[in-house]
Amino acid sequence: MKIRHTIMALPGYHPGKKIPGALKLSSNENPLGPSPKALEAYCQVAHELHRYPDGAGTDLVRALARVHSLDPTNFILGNGSDEILNFAAGLVLEPGFRVVTAKETFSQYRFASLIFGGVIDEIVLTPEGKYDLVQIGQRVRETKAPLVFFCNPNNPTGTWYTHDEVLQFLGTLPESTLVVLDEAYGEYAEDPKFPRSRELIEKFSNLLVTRTFSKIYGIAALRVGYGFGNPSLIENVKRLKSPFNINSPALTAATVALDDEDFVRRSLETNRAGKSRLMGLFDQLKFPYFQTQGNFLCVHTGALGIAGSTAYTFLAERGLTIRDLASFGLPEHIRITIGTNEDNDLVEKLFRELVASLGTRV
């Protein structure tokens, strides 16, 4: 069998590691667990497992349309937002076509592009840890790239662009370029200037915004994400969707999670408090970090002379897993999910021990 060389060259995904018994703050999951309402609804639909799911996800799409003040025709559901990223690449890429994104960003953009034979153009982040929108725009215009992936807030740095900045950037791109604006952490963004993506899709018919139920709604295991955009774009994206890409318990749980306002509020409060505590800790320990609008912090361990992998090993041996960012192109940084106050007691204890262990090296 002759396997396509682009497939053989795929690097493979490096998931956030899970060590039995350790506190896992490596995959930006919700530290409060799943939405309790979603969990209850999920258990209740078990007796329907012999039925195929509603392939159109009618109830969930209606609920999304209500929450975003849009029409159901603006939405497509995916088996995680990962699947929507694949749909986007499959929609516009012929082998050899260019895709422009950042270098230090979510790895699935590379994966989605490579499986369709795309050639990925990765632009290094600015010193502030942000997508270099000027360079990206230039590269798109030079190469006539049909696809851009833009992570906002960016995983792994947490850095973000405002509504006006994104609006301005989109205005510089050709209408023939599909832009995927990945807002997996959008629900955590509390800056009032964070993009109002509904307004953006109404203005730009080449924009596909993606979101997920894996983060603030706490149902990562169920794999539900969605994209929204102009109805004619969405109609075309749906051509790539298999008939039953989301299972019924997941559809039910996501529909209920969307209305679990109490859980979302508690998740935001936990994140806000945890973020401020961790920023205070890293300030004290003299570890620089990027300002974040996500549920994670990206910390520069290199400032204290240690690689991210060294910090990873030290913490993992003591019962805490965080994300070493070498595979993201940031070998001197780590990413840590913001946990509960109790989680952060352990984070604080172990980071203090880590710094103490550096002794005279600091």
Ligand X SMILES: Cc1ncc(COP(=O)(O)O)c(C=O)c1O
CB of 106 to ligand X, least distance (A): 4
**Which residues, numbered 94-113, are part of the site for ligand X (CB under 6 A)?**
106
Using only C-alpha atoms, the chain has a radius of gyration, in whole angstroms, of: 20
- Only one of the segments 74-82, 127-135, 256-264, 328-336 lies at the binding site for ligand X (rule: CB under 6 A); that segment is 74-82
Q: Which residue is nearest to ligand X (CB)?
A: 80
- Strands (DSSP E) along the chain, which ranges? 23-24, 75-78, 98-102, 119-123, 147-151, 178-182, 207-212, 225-229, 296-300, 320-321, 323-324, 333-337
CB of 144 to ligand X, least distance (A): 26
- Interface with ligand X includes 151 (CB under 6 A)? yes
- Interface with ligand X includes 182 (CB under 6 A)? yes
Q: What is the DSSP letter of 289?
A: B
Contact pick of 26, 35, 74, 214 for ligand X (by CB under 6 A): 214
- Interface with ligand X includes 80 (CB under 6 A)? yes
- Interface with ligand X includes 208 (CB under 6 A)? no
CB of 216 to ligand X, least distance (A): 12
Contact pattern from residue 215 through residue 254 relative to ligand X, giving x for each residue in contact according to CB under 6 A and a dash for the rest: -----x----x-----------------------------
146 or 153: CB nearest ligand X: 153
Nearest partner of 209 among 197, 221, 222, 194, judged by Cα: 197
- Is residue 13 packed enough to be buried (19+ CB in 10 Å), middle (13-18) or exposed (0-12)? exposed
39 or 181: CB nearest ligand X: 181
How far are the Cα atoms of 124, 144, 248 from residue 100, in angstroms, in the given order?
A: 11, 10, 35
Sign of CA dihedral 48, 52, 53, 54: negative
- Only one of the segments 76-84, 120-128, 189-197, 285-293 lies at the binding site for ligand X (rule: CB under 6 A); that segment is 76-84
- Interface with ligand X includes 321 (CB under 6 A)? no
Express the helix, strand and coil content of the chain in percent, nearest 5 each: 45, 15, 40
CB of 327 to ligand X, least distance (A): 13
Contact pick of 30, 35, 74, 81 for ligand X (by CB under 6 A): 81
- Interface with ligand X includes 82 (CB under 6 A)? yes
Long-range contacts of 66-74 (CB under 8 A, 24+ apart): 67/258, 68/198, 68/228, 69/198, 70/198, 70/201, 70/228, 71/231, 73/231, 73/234, 73/235, 74/201, 74/228, 74/229, 74/230, 74/231, 74/234
- Only one of the segments 77-85, 136-144, 313-321, 353-361 lies at the binding site for ligand X (rule: CB under 6 A); that segment is 77-85
Q: Give the interface with ligand X as residue ranges (CB under 6 A).
A: 28, 80-82, 106, 151, 155, 182, 184, 212, 214, 220, 225
